[in-house]
Structure 1
Amino acid sequence: MFTAKFLLAALGFTAVSSPLILAGELASPSITACSGSINPPDGCSIISVVSAGCINLTGDLSSLNKQVSWAQVPAGFVCTFFQNRDCTNGGVNAHDVVVLEGGIWDMSDVQGIAGPQNFDDQTSSISCSPV
């Protein structure tokens, strides 16, 4: 048999722990983009991932426009970094787009549409989606 004290303690624990779990589940994934190094952080900004939306490096992010040297993409996501604004590219064989999966990336040696390339100081917009 459960006592009233035990039930109140269990309910109290559930009420306290549930919001913490929910807050963790609802937290938005983010990209870290740096104009300097990523470790130690230099010129880094954290950008919330908007699934399948285009993030232009303007406004508060304008200091990163054409300045991204390192990027960290969250696990479970694939992000496309575009040389142009509005997440547009020049075509199938263009060298103005790189696609990166979860991990830390040195933008001077990343996989582009046409193969490995130097994309350092090229990014003007980013689009991410879950894998």
Structure 2
Amino acid sequence: MFNKITSFVTTALVVSGVALAAPRSTNLEARAEQASPNIQVCTGAVGVGCITIPISSPSCISFTQGLSFLNKEVSSAVVPGGFVCTFFEQSGCLSAQGGADAVVLQGGSWNFITGVSGTASTVNFNDLSSSFICSPV
């Protein structure tokens, strides 16, 4: 009788432990994604020559500093949902042409060669970016 009770209790604990473990890991992964969103910036099409950069809103990321290999080389980007990122031709997230030298991208995959949203129209922004800044929508 004692062995049957011990076996039952052990089985119940194992089953409940498995049931509780799965949702916890899913919640932790979701929280980690929310806590540290990332943008993917690529020197080719999406998935080619890419680097993942954490977004620390609203901080400017200049490619003339530690990311100089990206300066004037960006061809695509993947912006996380819920964020808007502005890419600038100038470093320091500055516009020298009243915004005509910048593009604004909302969450999604963007190909700079085929065109992205400029201030007046869709523009080819391939190999022009020197900096970007992102913020939540």
TM (normalized to structure 2)?
0.76
Which amino acid in structure 1 is aligned with residue 40 of structure 2? T
1:88-123: CA deviation from partner (whole Å, max 9, x where unpaired): 11243x421000001111112011112211110011
Q: What is the percent sequence identity of the aligned residues?
A: 42
Higher helix share: 2
Matching residue of 2:77: 71
Of 24, 31, 48, which residue of structure 1 is paired with 2:30? 24
Structural mapping, 1:46-57, within 5 Å: 46-57=52-63
Q: 1: distance between equivalents of 2:14 and 2:123?
A: 61
1:66-100: CA deviation from partner (whole Å, max 9, x where unpaired): 100011111111000011111111243x4210000
Q: Name structure 2 gaps, 5 residues minimum.
A: 1-8
Between 119-128 and 27-36, the greater mean CA deviation after superposition: 27-36
Structural mapping, 1:91-102, within 5 Å: 91-92=97-98, 94-102=99-107
1:50 positional shift: 1.2
Q: Name structure 1 gaps, 5 residues minimum.
A: none
Correspondence 1:44 to 2:36:
no
Runs of 4+ in 1 over 4 A off after TM superposition: 4-17
Which amino acid in structure 2 is aligned with residue 107 of structure 1? F
Matching residue of 2:132: 126
Matching residue of 1:115: 121
